[in-house]
């Protein structure tokens, strides 16, 4: 995957103002995609790791990588930024206000003077997804692109999962797997959704948390399907481990409408699934 840099033959830098740029940024690196007017991906840049580990140096590395990227120095119709972290808070619409946002977030997470809160409306959940973005990263992006819309990386995941058919007796369990943490949602027809995030270190930790959710939510290991996407592939260790306990398990691949090149295996795009679905969250 580290060798994958895709630019379609239809890409025309002179038409960049017709394109949508989506950038996935975390504290340790970034990747990006460019979609044309039909929401077809015409450019996909591999994950680039920041050179330094400290916060300030990471942002300096980010600034340098942007400056040296020909594609990121074009003008775009829209620029979306997908911020990756395991810290966010869902607030129902009826309780949402600017004051309540800050109070609620700080009850669950630490908010420093170096962070800035942002929020996305997830209509299907009747809720707002509230998250913090380091100001140093935000300033770099705004300076580079002027108008930027920020999303938490769990937003397209939750929005997509909640739109699927919901079973009353044996609901599906959706997991978005990231490095060292994962998000999970079990949609409920009556709106009583189970939503949470867990940090993990080893594959056995990840499997334990998922199986414990099945137990706590009284799900049937033979009937409720586990659907995983993100940083995961069919042959990975945690999938093989979970298959020992769960009868129905699916690794969710990128939707066919977002496929880029048939000669590149779909599974190679798993890690970009939230990035490439981001334009659907407008």
Give me the pLDDT at residue 21, please.
95
One domain, residues 169 and 54 = no
Residue 11 lies in a domain: yes
One domain, residues 17 and 63 = yes
Q: Across all residues in the chain, what is the average pLDDT? A: 88
What is the token pair recorded at 111?
């908010």
Alpha helices in the chain (DSSP H): 55-67, 98-108, 135-145, 154-162, 203-216, 237-242, 273-277
One domain, residues 80 and 22 = yes
Instruction: Collect all residues with Cβ–Cβ distance below 8 Å to 136 and sequence separation of at least 6.
Output: 55, 56, 59, 114
Q: Which residue has the tokens 């990263």?
A: 137
pLDDT, tens only, 59-116: 889 999 999 999 999 999 999 999 999 999 999 999 999 889 999 999 999 999 999 9
Residue 258 lies in a domain: no
pLDDT, tens only, 235-244: 788 999 999 9
Q: Which of 150, 149, 91 is nearest to 122 (CA)?
A: 91
Q: Which residue has the tokens 């007796």?
A: 169
Confidence of residue 51 (pLDDT cuts 50, 70, 90): confident
DSSP designation for 253: P
One domain, residues 133 and 189 = no
One domain, residues 17 and 74 = yes
Compute the radius of gyration of the chain from its Cα atoms.
19
One domain, residues 233 and 185 = yes
Strand partners, 92: 127
Task: Give the C-alpha separation, 226 to 241, whole Å.
Answer: 13
Strand partners, 199: 181
Number of domains the chain contains: 2
Query: What share of the chain has pLDDT > 90, as a percent?
Result: 65
Q: What is the mean pLDDT of residues 159-167?
A: 87
Give the strand pairing for 226-230 and 173-178: parallel
Q: Which residue has the tokens 């007017």?
A: 37
Q: Which residue has the tokens 């599974």?
A: 267
Residue 172 lies in a domain: yes
Residue 16 has pLDDT above 70, yes or no: yes
What global pTM score does this model have? Answer: 0.89
Give me the pLDDT at residue 44, please.
86
What is the token pair recorded at 61?
């590395």
Strand partners, 88: 131
- Where is average pLDDT lowest: 110-124, 155-169, 177-191, 259-273? 259-273
Q: What are the two backbone dihedrals, phi and then psi, of residue 240, each rounded to the nearest 5 degrees? A: -65, -35
211 within 8 A of 238, measured Cβ to Cβ = no
**Residue-number span of the structural domain to which 5 is assigned:** 1-152+272-282
One domain, residues 95 and 204 = no
One domain, residues 5 and 134 = yes
91 within 8 A of 130, measured Cβ to Cβ = yes
Q: What is the mean pLDDT of residues 144-148?
A: 94
62 within 8 A of 133, measured Cβ to Cβ = no
What is the token pair recorded at 190?
């009556």
Terminal Cα-to-Cα distance of the chain (whole angstroms): 28
Task: Give the C-alpha separation, 124 to 163, whole Å.
Answer: 7
């Amino acid at each position: 995957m580290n060798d994958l840099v895709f630019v379609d033959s239809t890409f025309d830098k002179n038409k960049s103002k017709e394109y949508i740029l989506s950038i996935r940024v975390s504290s340790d690196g970034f990747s990006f995609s460019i979609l044309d007017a039909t929401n077809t991906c015409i450019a996909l840049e591999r994950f680039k790791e920041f050179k330094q580990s400290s916060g300030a140096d990471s942002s300096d590395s980010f600034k340098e990588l942007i400056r040296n990227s020909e594609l990121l120095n074009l003008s775009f119709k829209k620029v979306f930024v997908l911020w990756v972290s395991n810290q966010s808070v869902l607030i129902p619409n009826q309780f949402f206000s600017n004051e309540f946002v800050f109070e609620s977030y700080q009850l669950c997470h630490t908010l420093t003077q170096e962070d800035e809160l942002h929020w996305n409306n997830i209509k299907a959940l009747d809720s707002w997804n509230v998250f913090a973005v380091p100001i140093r990263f935000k300033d770099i992006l705004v300076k580079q692109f002027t108008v930027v819309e920020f999303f938490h990386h769990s937003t397209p995941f939750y929005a997509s999962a909640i739109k699927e058919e919901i079973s009353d007796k044996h609901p599906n369990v959706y997991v978005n797997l990231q490095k060292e943490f994962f998000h999970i949602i079990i949609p409920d027809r009556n709106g009583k959704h189970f939503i949470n995030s867990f940090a993990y270190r080893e594959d056995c930790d990840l499997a334990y948390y998922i199986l414990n959710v099945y137990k706590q939510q009284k799900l049937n290991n033979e009937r409720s399907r586990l659907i995983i996407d993100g940083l995961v592939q069919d042959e990975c260790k945690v999938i093989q481990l979970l298959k020992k306990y769960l009868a129905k398990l699916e690794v969710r691949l990128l939707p066919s409408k977002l496929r880029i090149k048939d000669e590149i295996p779909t599974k190679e795009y798993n890690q970009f699934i939230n990035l490439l679905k981001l334009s659907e969250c407008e």
